[in-house]
Amino acid sequence: MNAIKAGVRNESVKLLNRKKYQVLLFLTCLLSIAIGSLGGFTKGLSGLSLTNTPLTVLSLATGVILPLTIAMVSADLFTAEQENGSIKAIMTRPVSRISILSSKVLAIVLYTLLVLLVCLVTSLFYGLVFNGLGISNITEALLAYAVSIVPMLPITLFSVAVSQLCKNSSSTVMLSVFGYIVIFAASVVFPHVSPMLFTSYTGWYKLFIGAGMPIANILNVLALLVAYTLILFAVSSWAFEKKEY
């Protein structure tokens, strides 16, 4: 456990010291403001709600921003380190491969949480200042953002699994994004298989807001997402263990 904690800290510091991930957080902040402003200009058209800026930003974040971010981080923490040979130094440490993999996965999850936090803080601030958000809106937003990390877990493990198949970081990003789009498109083209695909639940936070929570539905979706996460983690672990660096 101590090895994993140290690994998570090292991987997180490594990420946050890279300029592109600092810039990404800044751009996420600007995008959140832009979405709120666009919602004001369009007066709620095209799904951009004037009074619900945080949820509008969250919808875009979980559907587009986070999957792309996860693909980029997975490529940098796995494939890019294979390319430049730095992962060989990590492998020489007296730490098991499963601990190394877990540390990198948790670092991706923490950065994803940071992006969500930036979206939340920025959109809440904008909503409070310009849209007059009420207490109920703020409570809904906090709950929605808190639960939104769950559907990002199988997406994270999917990108990590893809990274084990690729030899360069650009192909990892492209294949992860392409795979995500294909699976998402399959859920649209074949609605009967949609409930079985993890990409169908990036907006599952909607189950937690409104008049009442469908507890049975929430538990069913949670069980599905946990199952996908465990299966993809097992696949990633097997590939990472077998891979020669």
DSSP string, 161-186: HHHTT-SSHHHHHHHHHHHHHHHHHH
How many CB atoms are located within 10 Å of the residue 43 CB? Answer: 9
Q: Mean pLDDT over all residues of the chain?
A: 87
What's the Cα-to-Cα distance from 152 to each of 83, 110, 170, 199, rounded to whole Å?
26, 11, 21, 9
How much is the pLDDT for 41?
A: 53
- Write out pLDDT tens, residues 188-231: 899 899 999 999 999 999 998 876 778 899 999 999 999 999 99
pLDDT at residue 180 tops 50: yes
CA nearest to 66, candidates 162, 188, 203? 203
Q: What is the CA radius of gyration of the chain?
A: 19
Q: pLDDT-derived band of residue 47, with 50, 70 and 90 as boundaries? A: very low
pTM of the model: 0.91
Which pLDDT belongs to residue 132? 64
- 37-46, 58-67, 94-103: segment of lowest average pLDDT: 37-46
